[in-house]
Homo-oligomer: A and B are copies of this chain.
Amino acid sequence: MLRRAIDLFNQRGYDATSIADLAQSLGVTKSAIFHHVASKEELLAAALDEALTGLTAAIESAAARHDGASAAQRLRGTVEESVRILAAHLPAVTLLLRVRGNSPVEQDALRRRRVVDESLARLVREAASEGDLRADVDPDVISRLLFGTVNSLVEWYDPAGPVDPDALAHTVTALAFEGLTPR
């Protein structure tokens, strides 16, 4: 039911989708749905939580590594893992990226997204201060570009298509860290 709800929210927009639409799409009655969830907002909260739990875990596990990895290595791991999360939870992440803060549930999701963004920005600044990022670019712009590049995947990536998540994660990190020009 959550899968179908996320798909409808993405296709028609959250506001334009009713529990009646969801019931019709699943071929069940509205009361069958209300047997499982109290409101449409509960479905939205579950969907956003799915996306945010994965992204938060990706950045926290990278930040918590105690294997002597440099900030740049942890940053690279975070970007790679974020791509995998996005590929594995594409509909939920797509929904998350469209949230504009129109309700307490959406505002809470935006707050959690900002925590993830700030952790990544911190990692970028740490890598820069360790001398592992080129010095002629602004670390804050870099964090924006890294997230922008990863997030832009929702516009075209098809998990059922020819590019598998590992190849995708490799290509994104290769582009960002070594660049397209052969070394």
Contact = CB atoms under 8 A, between A and B. Distances in A.
A25 to B, nearest CB: 20
Given A152-B145, A152-B148, A153-B148, A134 B170 contact: no
Contacts of A172: 145
A60 interface: no
Interface stretch (A35-43, A48-56, A61-69, A135-143): A135-143
Interface residues on A, range: 35 or more
B180 A135 contact: no
B181 A133 contact: yes
Given A142-B171, A171-B142, A179 B179 contact: yes
B178 A132 contact: no
Contacts of A178: 134, 178-179, 181
A137 B171 contact: yes
A177 B174 contact: no
Interface in A76-133: 127, 131-133
Contact of A148 (B132, B136, B156, B177): B156
30 contacts: A72-B180, A72-B181, A131-B182, A132-B181, A133-B180, A133-B182, A134-B180, A134-B181, A134-B182, A134-B183, A136-B170, A137-B171, A138-B163, A138-B167, A138-B171, A144-B152, A145-B149, A145-B172, A148-B148, A148-B149, A148-B155, A149-B149, A174-B179, A175-B175, A176-B180, A177-B179, A177-B180, A178-B178, A178-B181, A183-B183
